[in-house]
Amino acid sequence: MSAIAIDGNILVMATTDAPPAALLIAGPPASGKSTVAASLAKTLGATLIDQDAATGPLLSVIGSLINIDDIDDQRLATLTRADRYETITCLAEDNLRVGNTVVVVAPFTAERTNLRVWEDLFHRLQRAAEGAVTMVWLYLSHEELLQRMRARRADRDASKLGEEQRFIDQLDFGPPVGPHIPIHAVGSVDQIVLSIINQLKADFALPSTA
């Protein structure tokens, strides 16, 4: 297999016998999780598993059956959370077993705040390939997050921006309770990805499926 090595600001491929890794990308809304995860997966030659892409179509069907249009509605989230996370975990396990490093993106709210839940997920993914498993926490200040949401002008953000303080008060900006890599999610996507790799290379060999 091959892994990322860094020479100055240049990413190069280096040979390694390390097993495939699982990199979990988490962060608050508008922290750039999906964009950063996609770029990181491309850089590493890894499989990208995005919770929204993997489960969004079925989530919409369930929402229509119970007359809920907002995918962020707490009732819909409570009804579907366990199965959505089981879906992406199974996809990650299957990829790890065949030798693919995975980049998995989701809010990981329970896994961030409950050490037992994090440990359960950690051990499942590690058993699949005996490789590194780590969470990357993309963080922003309150104002940075609001600025990002105002700039992207997504329809799903309209109601939140209509009550900004209430929305902020409901969010958990605390870091994950388990081991993680904190990354300030400002700057270009390339800069953020490079920051992640710089942090990872100090602790892990990062295999690539490329």
The tens-digit pLDDT sequence of the chain (210 residues) is: 434 444 444 444 344 567 899 999 999 888 899 999 999 999 999 999 999 888 877 766 666 667 767 666 676 667 667 888 999 999 999 999 999 999 999 999 999 999 999 999 999 999 998 889 999 999 988 888 888 878 877 777 777 777 778 878 777 778 899 999 999 999 999 999 999 999 988 776 555 444
Q: Which residues contact 172 (CB under 8 A, 6 or more apart)?
A: 28, 109, 112, 113
Q: Which of 8, 9, 10, 14 is nearest to 206 (CA)?
A: 14
Instruction: Work out whether the CA dihedral 95, 99, 104, 108 comes out positive or negative.
Output: positive
Q: What are phi and psi of 93, to 5 degrees?
A: -60, -45
pTM of the model: 0.80
Give one word for 30, left, alpha or beta, with left for phi > 0 and alpha for psi -120 to 50.
left
Cα–Cα distance for residue pair 49/192, rounded to 1 Å: 19
Per-residue pLDDT at 148? 81
Q: Which residues contact 210 (CB under 8 A, 6 or more apart)?
A: 2, 13, 44, 45
Q: What is the DSSP secondary-structure string of 102-120?
A: EEEES--HHHHH-HHHHHH
Count how many residues are written for the chain: 210
Cα–Cα distance for residue pair 13/29, rounded to 1 Å: 32
Domains of the chain (ranges; CATH) run: 2-208 (3.40.50.300)
Cα–Cα distance for residue pair 103/12, rounded to 1 Å: 19
| Strand blocks (E) in 62-208 | 102-105, 133-139, 180-184, 207-208
**Residue that is written with structure tokens 């995918």 in the block:** 71
Tokens at residue 55, please? 């489960």
